[in-house]
A and B are shown apart, each in its own frame.
Chain A
Amino acid sequence: MTAKDLLPIALFAAVAALLPLFVTQNTWLNFAVFTLIICLAAQGWNILGGYGGQYSFGHAAFFGTAAYATAILQMRYGMNAYPAFAVGVAAASAVGAVIGFLSFRSGLRGSYFALVTLAFAEVFRVLANASEVTGGAAGILIKLDVRPANFQFDSRASFYWIALGLVTAALVVTRALERSRLGAQLVAVRENENAALALGVDALRVKLSAIALSAAITGAAGALYAQYFLYLDANIAYGTWISVEALLAPIIGGAGTVFGPVLGGVVLHGLSEFTKTLVGRIPGLDLVIFGVLLILVVRFPPREIPGLIRMWRARR
């Protein structure tokens, strides 16, 4: 990785870091933090789905595991929020490795991998909804105790910068992956698994590394969500909404590109806010738009925003 590789990421981080200086309303900062959390979850999906070509419909399993782990460790075991966050991320990564091992060893790909990940996430959701340690259907609250030592902050701007820091870190990780042996092998497996095997790529190991990394990043988004909103229930943590969000942003923004998930996340949520101000709050309307966009980008290639820009440039 060279300085040139990192420059766009540094530029993005620097510009985005200025936002709280201009936007001080809490509702807007809320929106910005939430969008960053989605972008982070989507960056996780992008590692496995975008670079690895394994489309998961169940990234909620990783988001929720980290979110619950960080909340439960703090509330039931009195752990400090920072190590709890780290354990949450590690737990998500472990869950990813296990699901990946079971699925990839069985040779599941394409729709079947999507189905099995969806089913795993649903199992987690039902379990979390029924179990005592997760607070069951009532959910779990992280006790409000606003101190930086507790990973709780007075100002939303602080959270915004932390979320931005994590998103930036994920961008750097993605760029490093692109420039690494693992990244090259992962893309090779996506493009043609047999050809990759013939070149000595241990496809199972490569996919396992990818899902573990992918789950860790999406897990970080989940743990951050818990820490920001301080409340979880099974439908939030393990709901299909987050699996869908994590997948939509990279697909719309450009799967298998460094900035795709961030671009997609910002465009989708920007669009949804815009329609809200235009026609008022109608439940589900934002997702209708997302769904239509998803169908359109698949129907009319180039599939994603960077592709559209390339096409537009080529025409001029």
Chain B
Amino acid sequence: MIEPDPAFLSVHSVSKRFGGLLAVSEASFTVKEGSITGLIGPNGAGKTTLFAIVSGFEKPTSGRVLWRGEEITGRPPHRLAQDGIARTFQIVQPFAGLSVRENIAVGAFLRHRRRADALAVAEQVAERVGLSAELDKPAAALTVAGRKRVELAKALATQPKLLLLDEVLAGLNPSEVRDIVPVVRAIRDGGITVFMIEHVMQAVMNLCEAVHVLAQGRIIAGGTPAEVVRDPAVIEAYLGHGAATRLASHA
């Protein structure tokens, strides 16, 4: 029997099976309060499924998710949001018919019943992510980078304690990535723990204090970014069998 981890968020032996496919297998890891923690892994490793389980969009086939000592396995997403876990989506999901301000306000309405309060929060959040100039534009009219910021702002407006970012940098060009990295760091500095799936390795190295590596549904490594990229198991997972030894012999 595993003792409940005192950690902020802890995942215990979580598995998810879709028909014959085992998307996540016995995954266990923790996220420390106040950290920026990364989840990396090759395509199809099961990262998004794991995220969906933590955020309540999928129920795990087995295993448990604990949030500040309390079991939240299978709790529906809207209740998790209430409890302080917010997420963004890899494919951004703006409310197309609404303005940027109204998009963000939907998140803010979670903790503010009055429209005036929600709109005020929306404006504050927009400023934090650099959207102040776009508040009255329809969300559908923004560039990809702008929509990523809206996605971030909507989640922030729910005033979460833990923010799950699903590839918030994907699809951005290098200069846009450079712009948004400090925004993520500022979010953490404002007291929100960040747990992010990310492909852009440079950003992971730059931002994360801790990284978990998922490959073929299993957590194969964990540690600081510097430790993880040297881990032979990780190199093999990314570059194929035998890659670690080949690299070592070249060195």
Contact = CB atoms under 8 A, between A and B. Distances in A.
A203 interface: yes
Interface in A177-212: 179-181, 184-185, 187-188, 190-192, 194-203
Given A194-B93, A197-B78, A184 B158 contact: no
B244 to A, nearest CB: 38
B118 interface: yes
A40 B88 CA distance: 40
Interface stretch (B20-28, B79-87, B196-204): B79-87
B110 A191 contact: no
A184 B102 contact: yes
Nearest to B139: A191
A198 B160 CA distance: 11
Interface residues of B, number: 32
B155 A198 contact: yes
B106 interface: yes
A192 B55 CA distance: 17
A96 B78 CA distance: 24
Interface in A78-101: none
A199 B98 contact: no
Contacts of A194: 57, 77, 89, 93
Contact of A180 (B82, B88, B106, B115): B115
A190 B93 CA distance: 12
A179 B55 CA distance: 29
B190 interface: no
A195 B89 contact: yes
Contacts of B109: 181, 184-185, 201
A199 B97 contact: no
Given A198-B86, A199-B86, A199-B158, A192 B93 contact: yes
A179 B115 CA distance: 7
B41 interface: no
Contacts of B82: 200
Given A181-B118, A184-B118, A185-B109, A199 B57 contact: no
B76 interface: yes
Contacts of B87: 198
Contacts of A179: 115
B96 interface: yes
A181 B115 contact: yes
Interface string A148-192: 000000000000000000000000000000011100110110111
A188 B86 contact: no
Contact of A201 (B78, B88, B93, B115): B78
Given A184-B105, A184-B118, A200 B95 contact: no
Given A192-B96, A200-B78, 13 more contacts: A181-B113, A181-B115, A184-B115, A192-B95, A194-B77, A197-B57, A197-B76, A198-B57, A198-B89, A199-B81, A199-B158, A200-B158, A201-B78
A-B pairs with lowest CB-CB distance, top 5 = A200-B81, A195-B93, A191-B95, A200-B110, A197-B77
Interface of B: 55, 57, 76-79, 81-82, 86-89, 93-98, 102, 105-107, 109-110, 113-115, 118, 154-155, 157-158
23 contacts: A180-B115, A181-B114, A181-B118, A184-B102, A184-B105, A184-B109, A187-B97, A187-B98, A187-B102, A188-B98, A188-B106, A191-B96, A192-B96, A194-B57, A196-B106, A198-B86, A198-B89, A199-B155, A200-B81, A200-B107, A201-B110, A203-B78, A256-B97
